[in-house]
Structure 1
Amino acid sequence: MAMKVNRRAALGGLAASALAAPALAKAADRPKRHIPPKPEIEGGALINKDRAYSVMEEYGLAGLIALDPINVYYMTNVRTIGVRFITEYPGFATMSPDPDMPIYLVSGSSAAWDIANRDRETAELMPYGYGGWNAAAFNTDGQPEEPTGGTTRHYHFRDDVELTPREQRWKAASDSFRDDIAASAAWGLARALKAQGITKGRVAVDDMRIARFLAQTDLPDVECVDGYGVIQLIRMVKTPQELAYQKLGSWNNGEACMATINALEPGMRHTDVEQIFLAECAIRGNRVNNVIAGMPGGNFPDDGVLVAGKPYLIDCVSNYKGYMGDIARTFFFGDPPKEVEMRRRANQLAREAVFDAIRPGVKYSTLRQIGLDTMIKAGMPAHAVFVTPHSVGLQHDDNPMRMPNFGVDAFDHVLEENMTLTVDLPYLEVGWGSGHNEDLFRVTKSGYEPYNTERDPFLVL
């Protein structure tokens, strides 16, 4: 029979026990948490402005407009709340070829206080409100005219207390657009371009939806050209702040990868590998982008289970503040047979030959050919070999392949100082297995600087 409970007595007992509860623990009694490492420098701009001006001049551009969150972050050093909430139009960035003009972040006003914190170099804000999205106004000549009625949320500031310096900056930022805010995203873009002197000419955009926005405004002479690769081309050579983020993120990524390999056991599935790598990245301050173990696209061939006696690659990508590390290793449970050892040796010889050739002025195609020739000459079957140099930064493949709108059908990129890249050297054969050795590096004046550990390209577990 169910026991009846006297609720009044029960509640009274709870109250009594609460009164008798021990005192709250002091701060000194709290367990100490691991603090992830920090970058060598903080607060600098991400965008390589000198390179951006040079690229715009080379391709005859009147400016740049970005919508892709990666490019907006790169140009402004701000991640808007819209990016975090994955909204359709989280923010835009505009840039003029005139060095005297500021870069603008065109977004909702929620970014104002982040910029006002002044904890890093950022773009200037051109805020837009909500209320003029569907309003269409025209002047006497029939040209679009910015509608009125753009509004945004404003927080109350107490006037009977002394605000902190940061709170004062928040208030100043809010006051700056209290009575004058762009009616919509389209008109925010128009305001930013006019402020930068961009009222005509070809503008490279990373998303052609931007053209639809500008068509709603009074800038009919601004021509949007599909130019995602233009911004990628700029991003290939890193600034000191980017290098600081990427160096830390890449070393974290490499150590997380090695720790993951050493935690593996036969019988595990790919989801186990993913969870181990996720945990190892988290304690180092990185965010996971991807991990591949086994065969790319299919993971472990034996019903999805890791088994002894087969070679496996593991390719790990994670990031610190958006800047990615990319490392790959080969592992084997048991005693590797002769063919596995031969392919390991061929792969390592190719890696050494490729890295010996790294210096400014060398083409991607040269590195690719060195890798292919060395591996095949050392006994690797030609059908198993892939060699792919690629820039790494805010994207895994952080370089344009082609820019047809600018007369470039295919790029054969040339190494420059402060580029960060890897050279993929996987060897893959279904029915046999997979292997890989990949290390991220920075191109220096005369060679390279490793951005992750170079140890243990092949691990026998």
Structure 2
Amino acid sequence: MDRRTFLAVSAVSASIGATRLDAAAPAKLPPMTAPDGIDRDRASSLMEKFGFSLLVLEQPVNVYYFTGIRSGMHRLGFENQSFAVVAKDKTAPIRFITAQFPYYFMSADVGLAPGVEPMLVTGPDGDEAADAVMLATPEGESKTAREQNRRREILGAAPYYQSTEDAFKAALEGVDLSGGIVGYDTIHAHNLVAKSLPGARKGNGLDLAKHIRLIKTEREIGLMKAASRANIAAALETTGQFRNLGTLRNIRNHFNSQVGLLGNVPGFLVLNGAIDEAYDEDIVEGTAILIDGVSSRAGYHGDYGRTVFIGEPASHMIRKVKTIGTAWDEVRNGLKPGMRFSDIRAQGQAVLRKLGSSIQVPFNPHCVGLAHTEHPEFDSDGSALDLVLQPGMIISVDCPLLESGSAGTAHLEDLVLITESGSEAIHDTGNQIIIA
């Protein structure tokens, strides 16, 4: 065994142990049925705090979160197709407005989350809404179980509506707006509100939706753990192939293929400080390459950053990487409810000073879930938000080395769940130094 191989085995195998082997198999997922539903108590409380009586949401991520449906038409690139209508009154159902046939053909198989009602638009047929359109069953053949389920979903959603505006007006029946703000998250949602409720107070509900999404349910935490496990397994398998792959483009492509094999959807892979897939370069012996891999499962994201040394590390660079690791371990162990994002940044800098280091590392926190960065920007009074950690949040703290030199790049990043009394990583936080 040569020195390079010994270093690789010592640095990687000792830190990940069985992780690299075990993580190669996709994590067992909860059944892929509709989500359990959102926390209506939390949603209603926040809507009250922000002064909103209604949210009309069209962004695919928000429609998915509030209804459990990833709209087929949105996924095909069509806008202005599906809306979630969420009243402040927690006893009112969430209404899902969409076209009938796409719902039947692309969404009814899974169905909606509990507490969500479909309001389907079939178009006009004279002065009435058209009947539901469904696929024909060939003569002499029986309907499949899937087709029977689809038809039950569609027939149970009647009555149908001639237009999205008609469905929206019906969705408002019995809803107490009481002068509160009607929120929207896209121009299409805004236009629907403006046309149907011309006298309503309107406001941007995008940030409020992010506030609601901050606290994860047990199902969401399970999906985040599964997404993270597969994301890390793909990243570690890819680092083992760095020398064979040879270029950044090849490395990215390999990571994406591994992500798919393990049940995730590729997001991006930052390599050596470059995120654009169009950029390419050869890996260089003796340098360090940061990796920052992101992929998702059922919409929920994994996010993982590490430093990979190509061959024997330069002594000054490995000292810096070890310092980042020591500082991050201390910061991570101190995370707890009540801390603000600014406290995390300040704590990181304090630890670096205590270690006698002058390296530049931002310790920049962000919330992760249905987006790589999904925390809100503003408080209820419109002021810039210095977010306070709460139990149920999942955060990342970005720890890149802010240097650009011939020795390469470095990064460290893990996902952390905030608990009632502190925090816990949702994956193995080892492997801080990897040698290819």
User: 2:410 is matched with which residue?
Assistant: 435
> Given residue 435 of structure 2, which amino acid in structure 1 is its aligned partner?
V
Structure 1 residue 153: deviation in Å? 2.8
Q: Is 1:392 aligned with 2:368?
A: yes
- Preserved contact between residue 193 and residue 199 of structure 1 (Cα < 8 Å): no
SS for the counterpart of 1:216 is helix
- Preserved contact between residue 78 and residue 122 of structure 1 (Cα < 8 Å): no
Instruction: Determine the C-alpha separation between the residues in 1 that align with 2:364 and 2:97.
Output: 37
Structure 1 residue 245: deviation in Å? 1.1
SS for the counterpart of 1:362 is coil
User: Within 5 A, what are the aligned runs for 1:17-28?
Assistant: none
Structure 1 residue 103: deviation in Å? 0.8
Structure 1 residue 298: deviation in Å? 6.7
TM-score normalised to the size of structure 2? Answer: 0.85
Name which one, 1 or 2, has greater alpha-carbon Rg. Answer: 1
Instruction: Determine the C-alpha separation between the residues in 1 that align with 2:167 and 2:351.
Output: 55
- Preserved contact between residue 272 and residue 291 of structure 2 (Cα < 8 Å): yes
Instruction: Determine the C-alpha separation between the residues in 2 that align with 1:50 and 1:289.
Output: 32
CA shift in 2, pair 1:121/1:248, >3 Å: farther
Name the count of aligned residue pairs.
409
CA shift in 2, pair 1:173/1:335, >3 Å: closer
Q: Is 1:289 aligned with 2:306?
A: no
Instruction: Determine the C-alpha separation between the residues in 1 that align with 2:140 and 2:110.
Output: 23
User: Within 5 A, what are the aligned runs for 1:255-274?
Assistant: 255-265=233-243, 268-274=246-252
> Given residue 186 of structure 2, which amino acid in structure 1 is its aligned partner?
D
Q: Is 1:223 aligned with 2:201?
A: yes
Instruction: Determine the C-alpha separation between the residues in 2 that align with 1:175 and 1:118.
Output: 13
Instruction: Determine the C-alpha separation between the residues in 1 that align with 2:175 and 2:36.
Output: 19
Q: Is 1:79 aligned with 2:59?
A: no
Higher RCO (Cα < 8 Å, 6 or more apart): 2
Give the superposed CA RMSD: 3.0
User: Within 5 A, what are the aligned runs for 1:299-314?
Assistant: 304-314=281-291
CA shift in 2, pair 1:196/1:116, >3 Å: farther
Instruction: Determine the C-alpha separation between the residues in 1 that align with 2:25 and 2:327.
Output: 38
Structure 1 residue 50: deviation in Å? 2.2
Question: Which one of 111, 121, 141 corresponds to residue 103 of structure 2?
Answer: 111
Q: Is 1:194 aligned with 2:194?
A: no
Instruction: Determine the C-alpha separation between the residues in 2 that align with 1:174 and 1:207.
Output: 27
- Preserved contact between residue 228 and residue 303 of structure 2 (Cα < 8 Å): yes
Instruction: Determine the C-alpha separation between the residues in 1 that align with 2:296 and 2:411.
Output: 20
Structure 1 residue 35: deviation in Å? 7.7
User: 1:342 is matched with which residue?
Assistant: 319
Instruction: Determine the C-alpha separation between the residues in 2 that align with 1:46 and 1:395.
Output: 18
Deviations 1:159-217 (A, max 9, x none): 98775666444334433567x42222233222222354548531221124322123333
Question: Which one of 295, 305, 310 corresponds to residue 333 of structure 1?
Answer: 310
Instruction: Determine the C-alpha separation between the residues in 2 that align with 1:129 and 1:269.
Output: 52
Question: Which one of 61, 81, 94 corresponds to residue 70 of structure 1?
Answer: 61
User: 2:18 is matched with which residue?
Assistant: none
User: Within 5 A, what are the aligned runs for 1:60-209?
Assistant: 60-109=51-100, 110-112=102-104, 114-115=107-108, 121=114, 123-130=116-123, 153-156=133-136, 167-176=147-156, 180-194=159-173, 196-198=175-177, 201-209=180-188
CA shift in 2, pair 1:298/1:203, >3 Å: closer
- Preserved contact between residue 37 and residue 113 of structure 2 (Cα < 8 Å): no
User: 1:280 is matched with which residue?
Assistant: 258
Structure 1 unaligned residues grouped into runs of 5+: 1-33, 136-146
- Preserved contact between residue 117 and residue 166 of structure 1 (Cα < 8 Å): no
Structure 1 residue 453: deviation in Å? 2.1
Q: Is 1:39 aligned with 2:15?
A: no
Deviations 1:93-121 (A, max 9, x none): 01112122111111111324744755864
Question: Which one of 282, 285, 292 corresponds to residue 315 of structure 1?
Answer: 292
Q: Is 1:414 aligned with 2:388?
A: yes
CA shift in 2, pair 1:287/1:116, >3 Å: closer
CA shift in 2, pair 1:36/1:459, >3 Å: closer
Instruction: Determine the C-alpha separation between the residues in 2 that align with 1:397 and 1:75.
Output: 18
SS for the counterpart of 1:429 is coil
- Preserved contact between residue 104 and residue 123 of structure 1 (Cα < 8 Å): yes
- Preserved contact between residue 104 and residue 126 of structure 1 (Cα < 8 Å): yes
Structure 1 residue 62: deviation in Å? 0.6
